[in-house]
């Protein structure tokens, strides 16, 4: 059987954007995905210019997403052109457009890989889940940190009997880029992330707190059930939170604290998670991603290191590319999401079966955000995190 890379079209990510360029570098890394078209900007000139810089013909740099989906669907149906046509839409736009674009892509017969959070409300993401169930496409969510090898090793350790029942979880994701009012000085990234119409009901909690939530549930293989949250904005005219924390409980009986802040001056991407079981604890830092610290109750300290030559679990090794001592990081983790999605689609399998977060994680993430916002509005009152409605195959990475 001849290998064929997954053909991807990107929506958003035009010149001047940040995350689109990261997606493009990541999807090309393993040669299992290829960018074939795009609607990179609402400004057609920018879309054409971006496409040209990527070596793409002008006729496949579309003025808007509807034009792209229509033209590419027609290519799919034409003899002799279907093998070059779009298969999967990569969505790298502000949050308010995620669900409309994903729904339209699925309706036109394409799969979807979307930036997180999945949307701006749980209700609209539940509607997306229904659209997915009625389609033949796949849906993936770019919770990038679930692509790191040592995150999978942490899950492997924390779910072993020797670790003991999980008791305490502490996760912190702090940045400093909103310590000043960047939204007033021309930063497009800050402008939409602090605008509730485009970002949704949460600011820092939606942007980076959602990553922290996904890490907690994934590594512990357990659901967060309820929380008490306080979200804050440190400027009187900033409409969304730039800082917050939540106490939470898990369905396995563990308790924890989650901090998500973008006003910690000097911090870059200080994402750290510590999980404590009855007999041991593990700690992972995103800024030192190739190391996982395990501390056992008998005083034993083990530093697990990433690398193809290391004694890691099979899922961690699958996400390593190089022997130990050769650093792998953010782009490689992103690339793992794309590579595993491509393999799942080629195999006709659910993304979750290849370790890719999908619609179940999208629903869990939105339920977490809505509970956090509601709790904060009630001065930290405890709120249950809504369980997604039972639909056709909403199984995810939690088993």
Mean pLDDT, residues 222-226 taken together: 98
Mean pLDDT, residues 56-71 taken together: 96
Question: Residue 95 pLDDT more than 60?
Answer: yes
Question: Residue 304 pLDDT more than 70?
Answer: yes
pLDDT, tens digit, for every residue of 100-114? Answer: 999 999 999 999 999
Do strands 243-250 and 224-232 pair parallel, antiparallel, or not at all (unpaired)? antiparallel
Residue range(s) of every CATH 3.30.360.10 domain in the chain: 148-326+359-384
Mean pLDDT, residues 369-387 taken together: 97
Q: What is the dihedral of CA 82, 114, 26, 64, to 10 degrees?
A: 60
Q: For residue 175, give the nearest of 114, 261, 235 by alpha carbon.
A: 261
Percent of the chain whose pLDDT exceeds 90: 93
Residue range(s) of every CATH 3.40.50.720 domain in the chain: 6-144
* Phi, psi at 350, each rounded to 5°: -70, 140
pLDDT, tens digit, for every residue of 330-364? Answer: 999 999 999 999 999 999 999 999 999 999 999 99
Question: Residue 390 pLDDT more than 70?
Answer: no
Q: How many residues does the chain have?
A: 399
Q: Band of the pLDDT at 392, cuts 50, 70, 90? A: low
Q: Which distant-in-sequence residues (6+ apart) come within 8 Å of 193 by Cβ?
A: 183, 199, 203, 207, 240
* Phi, psi at 65, each rounded to 5°: -65, -35
C-alpha separations of 18 from 114, 178, 205, 247 in Å: 15, 16, 20, 32
Question: Residue 314 pLDDT more than 90?
Answer: yes
Q: Band of the pLDDT at 2, cuts 50, 70, 90? A: low
Specify the DSSP element, H or E, that contains 91.
Answer: strand 88-91
Give the pLDDT confidence score for residue 202 in this predicted structure. 98
Give the pLDDT confidence score for residue 394 in this predicted structure. 79
CA dist., res. 264 & res. 174, Å (int):
6
How confident is the prediction for the chain on average, in pLDDT?
96
* Phi, psi at 141, each rounded to 5°: -120, 130
Cα end-to-end span (Å), the chain: 33
Tokens coding 247: 């106490």
**Cβ pair 146, 357 in contact under 8 A:** yes
- The class that CATH gives domain 6-144 is alpha beta
Mean pLDDT, residues 292-316 taken together: 98
The domain 148-326+359-384 having CATH identifier 3.30.360.10: the answer here is yes
Give the pLDDT confidence score for residue 1 in this predicted structure. 46
Q: Omega into 245 within 30° of 0, i.e. cis?
A: no
Angle, helix 210-220 to helix 149-158, in steps of 10 degrees: 50
């Amino acid at each position: 059987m001849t290998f064929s890379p997954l053909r991807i079209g990107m929506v958003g990510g035009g010149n001047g954007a940040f995350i689109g360029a990261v997606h493009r570098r990541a999807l090309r890394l393993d040669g299992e995905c290829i960018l074939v078209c795009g609607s990179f900007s609402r400004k057609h000139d920018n879309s054409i210019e971006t496409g040209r810089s990527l070596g793409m013909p002008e006729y496949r740099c579309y003025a808007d997403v509807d034009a792209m989906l229509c033209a590419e669907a027609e290519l799919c149906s034409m003899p002799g052109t279907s093998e070059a046509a779009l298969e999967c839409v990569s969505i790298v736009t502000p949050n308010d457009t995620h669900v409309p674009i994903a729904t339209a892509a699925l309706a036109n017969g394409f799969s979807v890989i979307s930036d997180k959070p999945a949307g701006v409300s749980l209700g609209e993401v539940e509607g997306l889940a229904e659209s997915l169930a009625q389609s033949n496409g796949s849906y993936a969510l770019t919770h990038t940190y679930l692509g790191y090898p040592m995150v999978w090793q942490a899950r492997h350790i924390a779910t072993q009997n020797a670790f003991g029942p999980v008791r305490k979880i502490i996760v912190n994701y702090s940045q400093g880029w909103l310590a000043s009012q960047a939204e007033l000085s021309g930063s497009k990234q800050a402008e939409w992330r602090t605008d509730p119409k485009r970002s949704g009901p949460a600011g820092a909690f939606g942007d980076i707190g959602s990553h922290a939530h996904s890490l907690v549930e994934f590594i512990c293989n357990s659901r967060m059930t309820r929380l008490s949250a306080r979200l804050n904005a440190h400027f009187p005219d900033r409409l969304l939170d730039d800082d917050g924390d939540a106490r939470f409980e898990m369905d396995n009986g563990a308790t924890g604290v989650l901090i998500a802040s973008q006003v910690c001056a000097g911090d870059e991407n200080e994402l750290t998670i510590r999980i404590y079981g009855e007999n041991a604890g593990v700690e992972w830092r995103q800024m030192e991603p190739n190391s996982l610290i395990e501390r056992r109750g008998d005083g034993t300290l083990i530093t697990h290191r990433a690398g193809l030559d290391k004694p890691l679990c099979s899922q961690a090794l699958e996400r390593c590319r190089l022997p130990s001592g050769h650093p792998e990081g953010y782009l490689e983790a992103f690339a793992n999401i794309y590579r595993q999605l491509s393999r799942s689609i080629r195999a006709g399998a659910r993304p979750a079966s290849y370790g890719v977060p999908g619609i179940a994680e999208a629903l869990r993430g939105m339920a977490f955000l809505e509970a956090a916002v509601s709790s904060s509005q009630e001065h930290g009152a405890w709120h249950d995190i809504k369980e997604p409605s039972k639909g056709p195959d909403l199984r995810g990475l939690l088993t």
